[in-house]
Structure 1
Amino acid sequence: METIESFKVKAGASRFGKHYKMKAVTLNILDIKISSKDTANALAVFEQTGLTPNGGPPLHTHPDQDEWFYVIEGDYIFQVGKKKYHIKSGDTIFLPRNIPHAFIQLSEKGKVIVAYLPAGRMEAFFEVTDKWESTPSKEEIYRVFESHNMKIVGPPLKAGSV
């Protein structure tokens, strides 16, 4: 791997100055803290601010990536395979590749650090969702997940079912 210079990303800032807004699936703001470009695609780290109480992504898999979350603020339920975990501020959860997973944000606002190992196409995925101006069709959501090496395998978690 090519050696790069060290860098600092200030609080509230994004690595390249772009705040991605994930729209339609949930409303989240994502700031790149460590880019795939910084790590030869070995790692990508985002700070995600969740603005959708009782919202979260559909049950999905990452066939080639592990994922980990550290909760800074808020309360969540994560489903990983058949297991469910209540995760709150200060907790960490690891999601192994190929295991179906989803989460639901229980609190009004949430904030997590999420890392993808390897980085894969997650930055490109958030670039696409940032451009959505209205709620895409279910087919479009499936297509965008699949074109970024993820597969939807079930619906989002529901507040009453967790």
Structure 2
Amino acid sequence: MSSDTSRVHVPSDGGDAVFLVGDTCTTLLRSERTNGEFSMIEAIVPADAGPPPHTHHNESETFVLREGQLVINADDQEHEAGADDVVHIPKGVEHSFRSLSQDEPARMHLMHAPAGVEDLCTEIGTPGERGVVGPPLNDTDVAAMGAAADKHGHSLG
């Protein structure tokens, strides 16, 4: 791991974007810039879309919804979140989310502690563009996520 933890500025058009399981994920802060403490990803979730149920076994995930509306299911609880709401999912809790917006995508920041989720995104995502809605979720995406899940401390369903 690099020890470059100097101050970081990511401009509004910066970051490393990939299309991943129907979302556009742009890594804003990687592990090597935060000494492994956390990572931050901007996610754009198309209208009426979202990833399948999954579990992060190594890191907690905090959602900060910026635009749109989401329903986040975690274990047996359902949370409807709107702009500026925050939802925290501890590691080891199965969860999924879906955009409730019918016309516009939802946009959020995801923070993971400790860092590491960004490596999964880079490995299985396809090159994307920040702010652009990518292709819809398909079986190939889900299969790629399932194949890489164990390596990155995740499980599906």
Q: TM-score range by the shorter chain?
A: 0.7 to 0.9
1:106 and 1:2, CA in 2 relative to 1: closer, same or farther beyond 3 A?
same
Which SS does the other structure have where 1:5 is aligned?
coil
Unaligned 5+ segments in structure 1 are: 154-162
Which of 87, 98, 101 is matched with 2:95 structurally?
101
Which SS does the other structure have where 2:140 is aligned?
coil
TM-score, normalised to structure 1, is 0.80
Whether 1:126 aligns to 2:121 is yes
Equivalent residue for 1:32?
Answer: 27
**Structure with greater contact order relative to length (CA < 8 Å, sep ≥ 6):** 2
- Equivalent-residue separation in structure 2 for 1:137 and 1:39 (angstroms): 28
Asked if 1 retains the 8 angstrom alpha-carbon contact of 2:74 and 2:89, the reply is: yes
Equivalent residue for 1:74?
Answer: 68
Report matched runs for 1:52-91 at 5 Å: 52-91=46-85
- Residue identity (%): 19
Equivalent residue for 1:43?
Answer: 38
- Equivalent-residue separation in structure 1 for 2:55 and 2:9 (angstroms): 31
CA root-mean-square deviation: 2.3
Which SS does the other structure have where 1:147 is aligned?
helix
How many residue pairs are counted as aligned between the two chains? 145
Which SS does the other structure have where 2:54 is aligned?
strand
- Equivalent-residue separation in structure 1 for 2:93 and 2:72 (angstroms): 12
Unaligned 5+ segments in structure 2 are: 128-134
- Equivalent-residue separation in structure 1 for 2:141 and 2:106 (angstroms): 26
TM-score, normalised to structure 2, is 0.82
Which of 130, 147, 152 is matched with 2:151 structurally?
147
Equivalent residue for 1:11?
Answer: 12
